[in-house]
Structure 1
Amino acid sequence: MVTRWSLLFWFAALFNLLVGLPMVLAPDMAAGMMGLPPPSPDYVLPLRMLGACILVFGLSYVLIARDLDRMRPVIWLNIAGKLSVVALTAHAALGAGVPQDTIMAAGGDLLFVAAFLACLARRPAPRADSP
C-alpha cells in the first residue's frame, strides 16, 4: 500500500538518483550543478565515488519505501548520513566560500532529516508478535 511516508522515500530515492547519477557519469556537469568548476583529473574519481555512495543511499530509500516497518532502523542510518552532509557543509561554510548551490543542497538534506524524523515519530513502530 502506498502511503504518504512511502511516497516520501520514493521521492528521496529519485532525488538521490538525480544527484548521484550525474556525479558518476558526468562529473564535470555535476560540478557545474553544484556551482563548482570542473574537477581536476585528481578529483574525478572521488567525485564519482561520492556519487556512487549517494546512489547506494538512494537504493536504501527504495527498500524503505517498499517496506517501512521492516526497514525502519535503516531510516536512522539515512538521518545520520544526511546530518553528516549538513555538518560538513556548515563547517566548510564557516571557513571558506561555499557555493550557494552546495548550501542549498545541504538545506534540502536538512529538510529530508525533518521529514524522516516526522515519519519515525508519527508512524509507530510495529509491535512484535507475542508467542
Structure 2
Amino acid sequence: MTDSYTRKLFISAACFNVLAGLPLLVALRPVAALLGLQITPTSTLFIQLTTCLVIIFGWAYWMIARDPLQYRPYILLGIILKVLFVVVVYGHWLAGSIPWPLPVAASGDIVYALLFWRYFQRAER
C-alpha cells in the first residue's frame, strides 16, 4: 500500500471522527434532536464522554497518517472501537430504543473498520 493511500485513509478517518464527535460536543441538544436521541443529565454525561473519545481517536488516526509504523497499534484499537460502536448502536436500533439516524451515521464506521482491517493485514510491520 502506498504512503499516499495510507495518508488519505487515516486523514479521512480523522476528519470523519472529528465531524462525528464535535457537533455533539458543542451543540448537544440540536444535534441529539436530529439523531432522535433523548437528552437527560445522565445521557448528556455519556454522550459527552463518548464524543470526547471519538475526537481523541480522530487525533490518533491523524497520528497514524503521519507515521503508520510507529502508531500501528492504534490501528487495531481503532478497528475494535469502530466495531464495538457499530454493534452497540445497531443493537439499540434493533431493540427499538433509538431511531434510524444514528445507525445510518454509524455505517461509516463499518466501512472504516473494514478498510483499517485490510490495511492492518497488508501493511508492513
Q: How would you bin the TM-score normalised by the shorter chain?
A: 0.7 to 0.9
- Give the distance between the partners of 1:29 and 1:62, measured in 2 at CA: 28
Deviations 1:22-64 (A, max 9, x none): 1211111221342335x23443222222111111111111111
- Give the distance between the partners of 1:5 and 1:62, measured in 2 at CA: 11
- Give the distance between the partners of 1:115 and 1:123, measured in 2 at CA: 12
Partner of 1:98: helix, strand, or coil?
coil
Task: Structure 1: give runs of 5+ residues left out of the alignment.
Answer: 126-131
Runs of 4 or more, structure 1, over 3 Å off, are none
- Give the distance between the partners of 1:35 and 1:9, measured in 2 at CA: 29
Aligned-pair RMSD on alpha carbons? 1.8
Q: Which residue of 2 aligns with 1:64?
A: 64
Partner of 1:3: helix, strand, or coil?
helix
- Give the distance between the partners of 2:84 and 2:68, measured in 1 at CA: 23
C-alpha change, 1:92 and 1:57, in structure 2 (3 Å) is same
Q: Which residue of 1 aligns with 2:26?
A: 25
- Give the distance between the partners of 2:100 and 2:94, measured in 1 at CA: 13
Q: Which residue of 2 aligns with 1:88?
A: 88
Using structure 1 for the length normalisation, give the TM-score.
0.84
Task: Structure 2: give runs of 5+ residues left out of the alignment.
Answer: none
Q: Which residue of 2 aligns with 1:128?
A: none
Which has the bigger relative contact order, CA under 8 A and spacing at least 6?
Answer: 2
What is the one-letter code of the residue matched to 2:52? A
In the alignment, is the contact (CA less than 8 A) between 1:22 and 1:29 conserved in 2? no
**Matched length:** 124
Q: Which residue of 2 aligns with 1:102?
A: 102
Q: Which residue of 1 aligns with 2:17?
A: 16
Q: Percent identity, please.
A: 31
Which structure's CA Rg is the greater one?
A: 1
- Give the distance between the partners of 1:42 and 1:122, measured in 2 at CA: 42
What is the one-letter code of the residue matched to 2:14? A
**Deviation at residue 121 of structure 1 after TM alignment:** 2.3
**Deviation at residue 2 of structure 1 after TM alignment:** 5.0
State whether structure 2 residue 44 is matched by structure 1 residue 44: yes
**Deviation at residue 97 of structure 1 after TM alignment:** 4.5
